[in-house]
Structure formats: C-alpha cells, structure tokens
Chain A
Amino acid sequence: MKKWMQLLVLITSITSAGTLLASGGLGEGGEGREGGEGRASAMPVVTNAKWKTECGSCHMVYHPGLLPERSWNKVMAGLDKHFGENASLDTATHDEIAKFLAANSADKQANRRSSRINQSIPANATPIRISETRYFTSKHDEVSANTFKRKSVGSASNCIACHKGAEKGDFSESQVKIPR
C-alpha cells in the first residue's frame, strides 16, 4: 500500500476505536439504549414524596426496580427492626410507600436491568439486601472488599458513593467513579 494510504488506515482505525471507547463500549453504553430484545436497558426515573422523605432520611433512596415486590413487602413489614434500627411509620405513610414500591418493583419493570435482577433471584428466595442478590455480586466481582471499606464509600449498600445517579436508577458502567 502507498504510504499515504497506510497513514489514512492508521488514523481511521485509531479514531473509530477511540469513538467506540468514548461512547461506553458496545455493551452497557448510554442511557435508554435499546437492548437486543428491543427493551430499554436503563431503569425509568420514578419518585414519591413520602418515599424520598422517609426512606431517604437515613440512607440514599433505593430505586424500587432493584428488588421484586415480595422483597419490598418483607422490608416494609419489618420496619421496627430495619437492619438494626427502628424505622417505623404511621399506617397511612407506610401504605403509600408500600404501594409505590410494589408498583415499580423489579418484577413489574420492562427494562433490562430490572429483569436481570429479578431473574437472578430464585423464586423461593426473598432477599432484602440488594447487595446479596446474584446480580449485584456478579456485577461487582471486580470490586475488592477493601474498596467498599474505603471511608469515602463505607459499604456495599452505599451505591451513591460510586454511582452518582443511583437514586434515579442510573447504574450505567460508563458513569461509575470510584472515589479515593
């Protein structure tokens, strides 16, 4: 090949490789990209005022699409012993939040991430820790235990430390920033 053609091929391949990398790769790139089955991959943003106020008072709010309905029901039934703390609610608030969670739970969502989460949980299991689901552990298998223990992170339940858009259901890999 002539020298200028060689140069052109080289520049073209570097540019296209760079563009591909910048867009986040072929797998997880971007928000709302259509997956192979024609479904959106990202969770839709959902919100409820009471959920934000009550559930968000001690920790980041966990998107309802992260667990199936039966898991949320189990959480809501045991709020007086909520992971070691009393998080009890008055009946009206409790019922409204429970309804919101059930309506938007992983088993009700069409998006690919929620479907994958739901499928990773055996039908006879009712986990209440998102970080114990098979989906979570396999997605984080390259994150060391020490990384989760960093002061800036705290634990595996502090999604928002690395996933800034976690409360909106945004867990796309291209947006991950693990703090020092």
Chain B
Amino acid sequence: MRNKLVRNAFVALGLLFSINAFAATPQEILKQYEVKAKQEIAAVTGFSAQRGANFFKAEHMHSDGKKVSCSTCHTLDPRNQGKTRANKVIEPMATIANPQRFTDSAKVEKWFGRNCKDVLERVCTAQEKGDYIEYLISVK
C-alpha cells in the first residue's frame, strides 16, 4: 500500500465488514427472552435447564393422531445431528456440538414460530423458549 490514505481506507473497510449488526451470543438472546418472559408472567424467576430438557423430550399427541416431540426430528440427544421428515440432516442443537446455535435472534424466533406450531400446535411462551435455550447451552 502506497500511502496512509489507502491503508486507512482498508482498515475502515475491514472494521465495517467485521461488524455484524444481527449477530448475538446465546446469553444475549436469553436475556431478551427473560425480559419477554417477565412481561408475560411477572412471577418468572429465571430459566431452568432441567425444565428445558423435559420440554425438549416431552411427547405431545398431535391433532393428526401422531405423537410428536422436539426430539422427533432433533433426536433425544441434542448433541447429535437430527433428521427432518424429508430425510435432510439437521445440525446439532446443543451449542457444545454446534457453536453457531442461538447467535441469530431472527433465526431463533423463526424456528420457534414454525416448530412450536408443529409440535405443540400453539405459540411457545417466552419462559418455554428460555428454558429450552438454557438446556441447550448447558448440555455437556
């Protein structure tokens, strides 16, 4: 690089590209759900990995007559790859196996939106979402 202006321009560009406005950490996303949960029910006292684990594995009787659970597609061990009903691989949900999980809040909300309607046939509460994430970031 021939002069300071060019060097500075490259530095500025580099900084610009390294900022991703939508990236977050699981902890930041959890904080958002904690706020929402408290709005829904004032008595909420934080999230529990155990509740999240139970939620993950719980089986529900769907109105189509079939039993369904989060684990139906994600398997009982969230450190494993799962499989969609169309045979496509799903990367692990547990952050210890897949550090990309819970770093994009829009993506998290999108999938809660779809999958809660599929499994529970209703919207998940912020409490349920928080417990679920707490479980998946604490699985060793």
Contact = CB atoms under 8 A, between A and B. Distances in A.
Interface string B96-125: 000000000000001001110110000000
Contacts of B110: 90
B92 to A, nearest CB: 15
A59 interface: yes
A60 B88 contact: yes
A154 interface: yes
Interface stretch (B30-38, B40-48, B79-87): B79-87
A88 B113 contact: yes
Contacts of A157: 86
Nearest to A58: B84
Interface residues of A, number: 17
Contacts of B88: 56-60
Nearest to B83: A154
B115 A86 contact: yes
Contact of B86 (A58, A86, A88, A90): A58
Q: Considering residues A59, A86, A154, which has the most beta carbons from chain B within 10 angstroms of its beta carbon?
A: A86
Interface string A7-30: 000000000000000000000000
A58 B114 CA distance: 12
A179 interface: no
Interface of A: 56-60, 80, 84-88, 90, 154-155, 157-158, 161
Interface of B: 64, 84-88, 110, 113-115, 117-118
